[in-house]
Amino acid sequence: MKMTDNTILITGGGSGIGRALAEEFHKLGNQVIVAGRDEKKLDETTGSNPGMKSFTVDMANFESIKTFAAAVAAQFPQLDTVIHNAGVMIPEDLLSEKDNQSAVETVVNTNLLGPMRLTGELLPVLRKQTQATIMTVSSGLAFVPLAMTPTYCATKAAIHSYTESLRFKLCDTKFQVIELIPPYVATHLMGEHQANDPNAMPLDEFINETMEILTTQPAATEILVERVLQLRLATENGREKYDEFFKQRNAG
């Protein structure tokens, strides 16, 4: 991935990993555009980073995505990089009699359909550039799911699969397709507990290692910090060891 002189759109850019990536790319002199549902958080982000731009969008709503994509393409015809970072993670009890359908639809629409739809809407402007990058953000949980958030894990597994297919279809073009695979990172994705959990990878450490990989391995297709390797490579030790690892993580 080219690290400078880009015009970069980052969804979910008002907080957490999205904001941290936005600020790092902004420091490198890129034109960065952050997008999300929370206008206040977006304003805080752009206010702290003069020159950064923002748009509001509901990634769970196709009409909102279409309007947003058209506005971005019109105002930034030089757009050459999209980072699909927006996501939600909602605990679910699969054995509960309570209706979980609302949570399921929110997670699927935001985490899976949102990036797929936005990619389709932005391909026309991306194709006009001399080179372009699409980065998806999946999760280590795409490879070893957490049973308490089954739909989230399923959407991240699907994003991994979608990214591989997209990369193959674009392999003979000017596009680079990258998958960022975070471990458990100290953000507010699941609230204050996660943000302050000593077991979570500190956000600044994750971002520093991620930017180092992007800088030193410009042709990388998967961005894997050290702490996610155990999840990403879990199946390589055979089914029996994987099953044991899966049970241990979920029992904990």
Three-state SS at 69: helix
112 DSSP 8-state letter: I
Give the whole-angstrom CA distance, residue 126 versus residue 10. Answer: 14
Query: Which residues fall within 8 angstroms of residue 167, CB to CB, at 6 or more apart?
Result: 177, 221
Which helix or strand (DSSP H or E) is residue 149 part of?
none
Q: Is 152 a catalytic site residue?
A: yes
Torsion-angle region of residue 191: left (phi > 0), alpha (psi -120 to 50) or beta? left
List 152, 162, 184, 242, catalytic entry: 152
202 DSSP 8-state letter: P
98 C-beta neighbours (distance < 10 Å), count:
8
**Catalytic positions, please?**
152
